[in-house]
Amino acid sequence: MEHLRTPEVVDGVTGPAVVTRGGAPGDGGRPALAPREDRGAVLAGRGRRRHLRPVPWRPAKGSSPQPPGRHAAAYGRPVGWACGTPAGGRDRRPGTSVPGRGRASGPVIPGGPVGAFLLSSVVIFVAELGDKSQLMALAFATRFAAWRVLVGIALATAAIHLGSVAVGRLAAERLPTRPISIVAGLAFVGFAAWTLRGDRLSEEDEKAAAGADRRSALASIAAVSATFMLAELGDKTMFATITLAAKEGFLGTWLGSTAGMVAADGLAIAVGRQLGARLPERTIRYGAAALFVVFGAALIVDAALR
């Protein structure tokens, strides 16, 4: 029995077919094709020898589309040797991506700890404008070096705001989000009225600043920290930090509120020394109050749209 190889088109792919002359008795001498498994093995072997030259896949003329997966084990569609995708077409499989063709995205808005840090820094900076903390920082700066005053302010603020942030996060975990947003917005409007009222140093604060120890850096920093800690208890910056912590993350709010307060008091020291310790208090108060109203209105509108 003699075996010959003749071309055969199977599912649009041209490949060798094994033909046998002189088939079984009674078949009229017609050529008999080898079993499908044998033909698949021959095609697969031929494909391995020519894998460096992908063959574009085209359906045979007059053939109907084949359902996915038919004869996949025996024939398979030719693939490009470099990318592993069907030659001459796109890879539309789910979960795949094309390098350099990422999804279009809008502007990146910082979130998480970074967003909480930035928001807290801005809000507390605004809250400190025209506050008694700036006046106290100016009073201490007339007796100590500015860096000692700022270090003392940073230590006192970090200690106070750590407790404030803890209270705010506890409230956020126990209360629903929408009421917290409404209360926070109303609180910021209240802070605006508080800012317009103005703030003055009490006699105790003035005496503490005037009688502070000048002897060593450590003693001066301790004096500034203790005085600021007592002065900030019950201040609007403390309540503003609690309000922010109820909406934002713990770490970002804590660090941001501390940085905002130090920046505001540092600005007061620098500007006060340039202007002879005379700040435009009325302009500062009005500007800070307007910003507080904007923050509060934004929170209330956000809660109403939820």
What average pLDDT does this structure show over 71-87?
46
Quick one: 144 exposed, middle or buried, by C-beta within 10 A (0-12, 13-18, 19+)? buried
Residue 247 lies in a domain: yes
Q: Are residues 155 and 282 in the same domain?
A: yes
Strongest mean pLDDT among 63-77, 144-158, 193-207, 223-237: 144-158
Q: pLDDT band for 176, please (50, 70, 90 cuts).
A: confident
The larger pLDDT score, comparing residue 216 to residue 199, is at 216
Helix (H) or strand (E) holding 132: helix 132-141
Q: pLDDT band for 72, please (50, 70, 90 cuts).
A: very low
Is residue 11 scored above 60 in pLDDT?
Answer: no
Residue 195 lies in a domain: yes
Output the pLDDT for position 74: 45
Closest CA to 192 of 292, 287, 286: 292
Q: Are residues 138 and 280 in the same domain?
A: yes
Output the pLDDT for position 155: 94
Q: pLDDT band for 82, please (50, 70, 90 cuts).
A: very low
Question: Each residue of 228-257: pLDDT tens digit?
Answer: 888 788 778 888 899 888 888 889 999 999
Q: Are residues 81 and 135 in the same domain?
A: no
Output the pLDDT for position 98: 45
Q: pLDDT band for 97, please (50, 70, 90 cuts).
A: very low
Residue 93 lies in a domain: no
Q: Are residues 125 and 233 in the same domain?
A: yes
What average pLDDT does this structure show over 180-190?
80
Q: Are residues 154 and 80 in the same domain?
A: no
- Cα-Cα-Cα-Cα dihedral of 159, 161, 162, 164, to 10°? 130
Q: Are residues 27 and 123 in the same domain?
A: no
Q: Are residues 122 and 236 in the same domain?
A: yes
Residue 26 lies in a domain: yes
Q: Provide the angle, in degrees to the nearest 10, between the axes of the packed helices 146-174 and 132-141.
A: 160
Question: Each residue of 107-152: pLDDT tens digit?
Answer: 344 567 888 899 999 999 988 887 778 878 887 887 788 888 899 9
Output the pLDDT for position 67: 52
Q: Are residues 9 and 122 in the same domain?
A: no
Strongest mean pLDDT among 17-31, 74-88, 127-141: 127-141
Output the pLDDT for position 30: 52
Output the pLDDT for position 103: 42
Other CB atoms within 10 Å distance of the CB of residue 286: 15
Beta carbons within 8 Å of 266's beta carbon, 6+ residues apart: 137, 146, 150
Output the pLDDT for position 120: 92
Q: What does residue 72 show for φ and ψ, rounded to 5 degrees?
A: -65, -35
Please provide the average confidence, as pLDDT, over all residues in the chain: 69
The larger pLDDT score, comparing residue 100 to residue 36, is at 36
Q: Are residues 180 and 81 in the same domain?
A: no
Output the pLDDT for position 171: 82
Q: What Rg, from alpha-carbon coordinates, does the chain have? A: 39
Do the Cβ atoms of 62 and 15 come closer than 8 Å? no
Which range of residues forms the domain containing residue 202?
A: 113-304
Output the pLDDT for position 104: 39
Q: Are residues 24 and 157 in the same domain?
A: no
Q: Are residues 33 and 142 in the same domain?
A: no
Is residue 83 scored above 90 in pLDDT?
Answer: no
Is residue 37 scored above 80 in pLDDT?
Answer: no
What average pLDDT does this structure show over 10-20?
50
Residue 102 lies in a domain: no
Q: Are residues 28 and 161 in the same domain?
A: no
What are the distances in angstroms from CA 222 to CA 131, 139, 218?
21, 16, 6
Residue 29 lies in a domain: yes
Residue 105 lies in a domain: no
Q: How many domains does the chain have?
A: 2
Output the pLDDT for position 260: 93
Q: Provide the angle, in degrees to the nearest 10, between the axes of the packed helices 112-128 and 281-304.
A: 140
